Amino acid sequence: MQYPAFFDQIEPLVLRDPLAELLGAFADGVMQIHYLDVVRLAGHSCPTVAGAYLMARKGMKVLYGSDMPVRGEIAVEMQQPIGEGVTGVIANVLSFITGATDKGGFHGLAGQFDRRNLLSFDKDNPAPVTLIRKDTGQRVSLVYDASFIPADPLMGALFPKVLTGKASADEAKRFGVLWQGRVEAILCEYADHPQLVLIS
């Protein structure tokens, strides 16, 4: 499987999952989630998927500080309805990372590890994404905006040709390279820029 080299340069998220520990999936329940993992989940790499990854990273850092985040103990609230814009894409990535699910999640064992109803939509929150620690109730609101990160001007000319099937093979390949170039900039050059992910 071939993919852009920068995927491997992105710092993985490290969490502890007590359910995974109990069932022997990972030693001490410690697991790493790489950007490549969320790309597999989403089926593509784009600024939205990258933003969801960064929101999870920054949000969990606020909630847990130097402690390891606990998967399955983080609720995710989305401001918009599930079908609005890219809300569903972001929610899927955050669900994968945090373990939070809606009604269709794991029911738990003997009253523990219930992952249901930790993911919700259409919430009256001040930001598009809010992460909440179940144990302390601490909340962090997150706003992601990559609009200030420029795209190669050639993308604008190639995009309609690619979408309509009028691009040559070389043009289509070039578009993909340029597209991932912007994603790379978001994740590798601007990841810690104060304007990219606003926290409150």
- Helix and strand numbers, DSSP H then E, in the chain: 6, 7
The answer to whether the beta carbons of residues 121 and 135 sit under 8 Å apart is no
What is the structure's pLDDT at 110? Answer: 66
Residues 157-189 pLDDT 10s: 999 999 999 999 999 999 999 999 999 999 999
What is the structure's pLDDT at 170? Answer: 96
* HSE-CB of 52 using CA atoms within 13 angstroms: 28
pLDDT at 111 over 80: no
The answer to whether the beta carbons of residues 121 and 82 sit under 8 Å apart is yes
Question: Residue 109's pLDDT band (boundaries 50, 70, 90)?
Answer: confident
Burial 29-65 (b: 16+ CB within 10 A, else e): bebebebbbbbebbeebbbbbbbbbbbbbbbbebbbe
Distances (CA, A) of 182 to 19, 63, 142: 37, 29, 21
pLDDT at 107 over 90: no
Percent of the chain with pLDDT over 70: 100
Q: Return the C-alpha torsion angle 173, 39, 187, 34, nearest 10.
A: -140
Which secondary-structure segment (H or E) carries 14? strand 13-16
Residues 126-155 pLDDT 10s: 999 999 999 999 999 999 999 999 999 999
Higher per-residue confidence, 112 vs 134: 134
Domain boundaries, the chain: 5-146
Specify burial of residue 163 (Cβ count, 10 A radius: 0-12, 13-18, 19+): exposed
> Which is nearest to 36 in space by CA: 197, 199, 183?
183
Q: How far apart are CA 73 and CA 136, in angstroms?
A: 10
Specify burial of residue 1 (Cβ count, 10 A radius: 0-12, 13-18, 19+): exposed
SS3 at position 178: helix
